[in-house]
Structure formats: structure tokens, C-alpha cells
């Protein structure tokens, strides 16, 4: 049975799914046998295999996949405790799964954190925006600001916790998480901004500088806003009004006038 358990875990890992969600045909292929041979080995039912997987310390699933449960549980724990306070044991307990399941699915804590940031961070929305960009420079800059602001405000509040860890521990898990996602993030930003550089509508600055000039003020504001609100009360502009100010300031700093255009 051990070789069948190993084949089931390998097939599940290759598909990013729970063992219970992997067809027997795929498990049989991983084990080097036909489906009918596998069923004969199991006595006609996959139940013995699921039980053997459970006995090996891995939840075979059948509920929402371990991956989904773990990402949701880890996201809430990160928002509550920060990255430093989240262990795989705590995630397994909150997600009602086994520790070996997490190692099988995510290959460790950094892999789990990377999946959490992908789920709750700005990257999916940024790539959607880059696939169908707005028609004007101002609309594009505004949409990028709103995409990142929405990620910071999304519950559970994973993104603020990630940046708090990044600033506090430059060599910690947040830094490794950002390193994993930065190429895709800059690819999305390049597709949105570089056409305007090539058209002479944005200053020809390096992409990281264009991105930092845009996102630096926003990042500073959203992280400081919980402190600013009690201090300034009604005197603090609304989040939407602040975004409008940041968009205007960015365009004044880096936009260039073009034919038929007025530089903000």
C-alpha cells in the first residue's frame, strides 16, 4: 500500500489538488499500472487508499481542498498576528488539516505565504487591468492606484501585514514572497506604462522608478492612515479624495504634453 500512497500523493501534488479529487486513472498512471489493476489492489473501492493516505498523515480531502482551506486560514492568521506570528502548526489547526498536507501542497511556509499573497494581493487584478487597459494615461494611472488601494483594504488585511514585515525584516518571508511575485507585477506595470513612455507621454524613467513614484505615496498613506484618522478626524480627506490627489501629483511629476493633450 505504501507505493500506492506515494503515487496518490505525487498525482495530487502534480495537479495541485487533494488526493480525493484526483481520478483513480491518474493515480494508477503514477503507480505504473492500469485503473483496473489499481481497483483490484484496493478491493474494488478507493476508500482503503484514502484511509491509507490519512494514516500517512495527509488529509485526503473531499471537503474544500486543503489548498483553499489553508490559504484562507493563513490569510486570516497573517492579518491577526502578522507574518512572524504565523506557524504551519497554527495554519493546520485553523484549516483543520494535517501538517504533512501543508508540506505536500505548499512545500513549506514560504510557499504557503506566496500563495496567500497571490490570493489577497494586487497581482491578479493588475494582470486583468493590463490585459484590457483604459484608453487614456490619466485613466490608466487612476486604475493602477485603485487596484493597489483595493488590495491594501481587502479583508483579510494581508497586504498591510506583508509590508509591515518587509519593512521590519528585509530578509524575512515577506521579502522572499515579494521576490517571487515582482517579475509578474513589473510585467503588468510595464504593459500599462511603457506604451506611454514610448509615445512620449511619460518621462523615460526606469520602470522601477516610475512604479515607486506612483506607489510610494500610496503605500505610505495606507499604512499611516490608521494613525492619521484619530489625529486629524474630519480634516483627513477620504480615501477616494486622497487617491485623486495622488493621481494628479503623479501626472504632474512624470507626464509630458503630447499633441492635443494638456499636461495636468
CA angle in degrees (0–180, nearest 5) for 121-64-86: 50
Distances (CA, A) of 135 to 50, 130, 167, 192, 258: 53, 12, 35, 10, 15
Per-residue pLDDT, 63: 67
Can you name the residues that pair with 202 across neighbouring β-strands?
Answer: 255
CB 116 within 8 A of CB 80: no
Q: pTM of this prediction?
A: 0.73
Task: Measure Cα distances from 220 to 41, 103, 223, 225, 246 in Å.
Answer: 61, 35, 5, 8, 11
| C-alpha closest to that of 27 among 47, 44, 5, 48 | 5
**Cα 80 to the center of its chain, rounded Å:** 17
Half-sphere exposure of 198 (CA within 13 A, CB side): 6
Nearest residue to 141 (alpha-carbon basis) of 245, 257, 219, 220: 245
CA distances from 114 to 80, 91, 108, 172, 208 (A): 18, 14, 10, 13, 21
User: Per residue in 44-62, pLDDT tens?
Assistant: 877 888 888 888 888 777 6
The predicted-structure confidence for 100-138, as pLDDT tens digits, reads as follows: 888 888 988 999 999 999 999 999 999 999 999 999 999
Averages of pLDDT over each 10 residues, the chain, 264 residues: 88 84 86 87 83 82 79 95 92 86 88 93 95 96 96 92 88 87 94 96 96 93 90 89 96 84 45
Q: Could you give phi then psi for residue 23, rounded to 5 degrees? A: -60, 150
Amino acid at each position: 500500500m505504501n507505493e500506492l500512497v506515494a503515487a496518490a500523493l505525487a498525482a495530487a501534488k502534480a495537479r495541485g489538488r487533494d488526493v480525493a479529487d484526483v481520478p483513480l486513472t491518474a493515480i494508477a498512471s503514477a503507480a505504473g499500472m492500469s485503473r483496473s489493476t489499481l481497483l483490484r489492489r484496493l478491493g474494488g473501492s478507493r476508500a482503503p487508499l484514502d484511509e491509507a493516505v490519512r494514516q500517512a498523515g495527509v488529509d485526503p480531502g473531499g471537503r474544500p481542498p486543503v489548498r483553499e482551506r489553508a490559504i484562507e486560514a493563513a490569510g486570516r492568521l497573517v492579518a491577526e498576528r502578522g507574518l512572524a506570528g504565523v506557524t504551519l502548526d497554527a495554519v493546520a489547526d485553523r484549516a483543520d488539516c494535517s501538517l504533512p498536507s501543508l508540506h505536500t501542497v505548499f512545500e513549506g511556509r514560504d510557499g504557503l505565504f506566496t500563495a496567500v499573497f497571490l490570493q489577497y494581493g494586487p497581482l491578479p487584478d493588475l494582470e486583468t487591468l493590463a490585459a484590457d487597459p483604459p484608453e487614456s494615461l490619466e485613466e490608466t494611472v487612476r486604475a493602477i492606484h485603485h487596484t493597489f488601494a483595493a488590495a491594501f483594504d481587502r479583508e483579510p488585511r494581508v497586504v498591510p501585514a506583508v509590508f509591515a514585515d518587509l519593512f521590519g525584516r528585509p530578509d524575512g518571508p515577506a521579502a522572499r514572497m515579494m521576490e517571487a511575485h515582482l517579475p509578474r507585477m513589473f510585467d503588468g506595470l510595464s504593459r500599462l506604462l511603457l506604451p506611454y513612455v514610448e509615445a512620449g507621454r511619460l518621462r523615460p524613467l526606469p520602470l522601477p522608478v516610475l512604479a515607486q513614484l506612483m506607489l510610494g505615496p500610496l503605500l505610505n498613506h495606507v499604512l499611516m492612515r490608521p494613525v492619521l484618522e484619530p489625529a486629524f478626524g474630519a480634516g483627513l480627506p477620504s480615501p477616494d479624495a486622497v487617491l485623486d490627489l495622488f493621481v494628479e501629483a503623479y501626472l504632474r511629476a512624470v507626464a509630458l504634453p503630447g499633441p492635443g493633450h494638456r499636461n495636468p
